[in-house]
Amino acid sequence: MGKVRVLAGTRKGAFILTSDDKRRDWKIEGPFFGGWEIYHFTGSPVKPDRLYVSQTSSWFGQIIQRSDDGGKTWQQPGTPPGEATTTPEGFPKAESNKFVYDTSETSGAPLTTHMWYDGTPHPWEFKRVWHLEPCLRDADTVYAGVEDAALFKSTDGGRNWKEMSGLRGHGTGKFWSPGAGGMGLHTIVLDKSDPKRMYVAISAAGAFRTDDGGNSWKPINKGLHSKYIPNPTAEVGHCVHRIAMNPQKPGVLYMQKHWDIMRSDDAGDNWYKVSGNLPTDFGFPIAVHSHEPGTIYVVPIKSDSEHYPPEGKLRVYRSKAGGNAWEALTSGLPQQDCYVNVLRDAMAVDTLPSCGIYFGTTGGQIYCSPDSGDNWCAIARDLPAVLSVEVQTLS
Amino acid sequence: MIRIQLPYHLQNLGGVGPEVTLGLEPPYTVRTVLTALEARYPALRSAIVDVHTGKRRPLIRFYVCQQDISHEGLDHPLPAAIIEGREPFLVIGAISGG
């Protein structure tokens, strides 16, 4: 019998929800790190009990937490309690909460500036980790997307972080500017078929791809049209909310942008719009069915000014055609007086035979559909505002 | 012994109660007290003084003997009442945000 573990990051702590493959009865544990914003909570696909948390606070800064036993116990990987903070020779030891932009002459890129909201140059400043992406092949390797946008990598389970400075330094960085929520690198997609290829998305710079393991990067925003920027088809400057890919079909990407659902069939080299018959194509998350690479899910919200579902009806939209033709999924979802939002990292799928779809709302609910979206039920109703949802399918 | 009172979240992070005590050698400044605190409780590192900037985090305040010394700099000397443990060094988080 299979088991499912949902990892939820919320504004007031992390929660773990577990169930069997029926996905009807759920046990909820938490809050872990109660009172803290948990921007992301995820687990290693190689060692599922290896969990990582981005615990962040405007008061006390960034903490990376790690569990090696499925959430029973936690530690900051760089500074286990009671351990000396320097080596016997007096050198500072690893600090898992340190994300230092690499400006070294040999491997780094000049820190310079990025663009601020008003178009003026602004210095790069680390604020928080938005997203953690464990490696598909090694439990101790994990990537971190941070604000101000940059990509970091750890190869020792989160103890040390080194910037992959080829991204920030590839040349367009000075034109990157923040979105409403800050300039965060919020999405990291690893290509299961090619360990040297990965994709990232930044608000509000756009999407980028590396084909050489992160040494060099290129913008992949051709085909995007953003009418609110001076040059609507610029190389960078687009507010990409999320990108998603099914590992069975690498190179086919889907994007939820600040308006528009987009698709690329060539690893991001070219994008085309697939919003089709959606009532509105503004939203944050996008997810792909784990067994049907052409089945995608979005949660439209009214507009960039009104971040709630149209008509007060919470509807997930599914396309089984890779876009353009969409159907509303409503069974079990509130169809009146519902004004919650679903954030970009708050939707996920499991890999059970009947693919389960999950999403968390800013109203504190987590919904699950055990049948690919046909029917939904709330598996948690009263959590704090949900910031992220990931799902592990365990045997 | 120097007494330090911590806000709720740092108590949880450090696994300590509302007040901790530290033995310290001179010089007695805000910086040396916080350095000693972080050495004793590594989980608190960068939670009060940002390890990236070397500065007090903006939503944190320091009080000694009912005086706000947050803007005096980390090398501000501590008064005798703090050094002798008669009064606590207060680390206070801003009450805001919801």
Classify residue B80 by its DSSP letter.
Answer: H
- The tens digit of pLDDT for each residue in A155-171 reads 999 999 999 999 998 88
CA B36 to chain A, closest CA, distance in angstroms equals: 11
Selected for mutation to probe chain A from B10, B34, B37, B46 (highest A CB count within 10 Å) is: B46
Considering only CA atoms, which of A200, A214, A198, A110 is closest in space to residue A164? A214
Separation CA B49–CA B51 (nearest Å) = 6
The structure's pTM equals 0.90
- Would you place residue A79 in the very low, low, confident or very high pLDDT band (cuts 50, 70, 90)? low
More confident residue, A85 or A80: A80
Check A95 against B51: CB less than 8 A apart: yes
For residue B30, being part of any structural domain is answered with yes
Check A61 against B50: CB less than 8 A apart: yes
Contacts (Cβ under 8 Å, ≥6 apart) of A230: none
For residue B89, being part of any structural domain is answered with yes
For residue B98, being part of any structural domain is answered with no
Nearest CA in chain A to B40: A82
DSSP string, A218-274: EE--TT---TTSSSTT-SS---EEEEEE-TTSTT-EEEEESS-EEEESSTTSS-EE-
Look up the domain containing B38 and give its range.
2-93
Check A59 against B42: CB less than 8 A apart: no
- Would you place residue A80 in the very low, low, confident or very high pLDDT band (cuts 50, 70, 90)? low
Residues of A in contact with B6 (CB under 8 A): none
Check A35 against B8: CB less than 8 A apart: yes
CATH code of B7's domain: 3.10.20.30
Q: Which residue has the tokens 């991001």?
A: A268
- Would you place residue A84 in the very low, low, confident or very high pLDDT band (cuts 50, 70, 90)? low
Separation CA A237–CA A229 (nearest Å) = 7
Separation CA A183–CA A170 (nearest Å) = 17
Chains A & B: contacts with CB separation below 8 Å = 59
Separation CA B8–CA B45 (nearest Å) = 16
- The tens digit of pLDDT for each residue in A232-253 reads 999 999 999 999 999 899 999 9
Tell me, yes or no, if B46 comes closer than 8 A to chain A by beta carbon: yes
A114-to-A53, A119, A199 alpha-carbon distances in Å: 28, 9, 21
Q: Is A56 exposed, middle or buried, given 0-12, 13-18 or 19+ CB atoms closer than 10 A?
A: buried
- The tens digit of pLDDT for each residue in A318-337 reads 999 999 999 999 999 999 99
CA B42 to chain A, closest CA, distance in angstroms equals: 6
- Tell me if A240 sits within 8 A of A257, measured CB to CB: yes
Separation CA A221–CA A240 (nearest Å) = 9
Checking if the pLDDT of A382 tops 50, the result is yes
Residues of B in contact with A126 (CB under 8 A): 52
- Would you place residue A82 in the very low, low, confident or very high pLDDT band (cuts 50, 70, 90)? low
This model of the complex carries an ipTM of 0.76
CA A18 to chain B, closest CA, distance in angstroms equals: 26
Selected for mutation to probe chain B from A57, A59, A85 (highest B CB count within 10 Å) is: A59
How many independent structural domains does chain B possess? 1
* Rg of chain A on CA atoms, in Å: 20
Tell me, yes or no, if B12 comes closer than 8 A to chain A by beta carbon: yes
Residues of A in contact with B95 (CB under 8 A): none
Check A79 against B42: CB less than 8 A apart: yes
SS3 category, A306: coil
| Residue A247 token pair | 């590992």
- The tens digit of pLDDT for each residue in B22-72 reads 999 999 999 999 999 999 998 898 999 998 888 999 889 999 999 999 999
- Would you place residue B74 in the very low, low, confident or very high pLDDT band (cuts 50, 70, 90)? very high
* Rg of chain B on CA atoms, in Å: 12
Q: How far apart are the first and last CA of chain A?
A: 7
Contacts (Cβ under 8 Å, ≥6 apart) of A204: A176, A177, A178, A179, A183, A237, A238, A239, A240, A258
Q: Look up residue A378 and give its amino acid.
A: A
More confident residue, A355 or A87: A355
Classify residue A383 by its DSSP letter.
Answer: P
SS3 category, A76: coil
Strand B89-93, strand B2-5: pairing: parallel
- Tell me if A144 sits within 8 A of A134, measured CB to CB: no
A110-to-A254, A297, A300 alpha-carbon distances in Å: 32, 40, 39
- The tens digit of pLDDT for each residue in A349-363 reads 999 999 999 999 999
Q: Which fold has domain A48-77+95-361?
A: Methylamine Dehydrogenase; Chain H (2.130.10)
Return the pLDDT at B94. Answer: 80
- Would you place residue A93 in the very low, low, confident or very high pLDDT band (cuts 50, 70, 90)? low
Return the pLDDT at B96. Answer: 61
Give the pLDDT mean for A111-129. Answer: 87
SS3 category, A284: coil
For residue B6, being part of any structural domain is answered with yes
H-type alpha helices, B26-79: 30-40
CA A93 to chain B, closest CA, distance in angstroms equals: 11
H-type alpha helices, chain A: 165-168
- Would you place residue A108 in the very low, low, confident or very high pLDDT band (cuts 50, 70, 90)? confident
Q: Which of A35, A98, A125 sits opposite B51 (nearest CB)?
A: A98
Checking if the pLDDT of A192 tops 50, the result is yes
Give the pLDDT mean for A55-72. Answer: 92
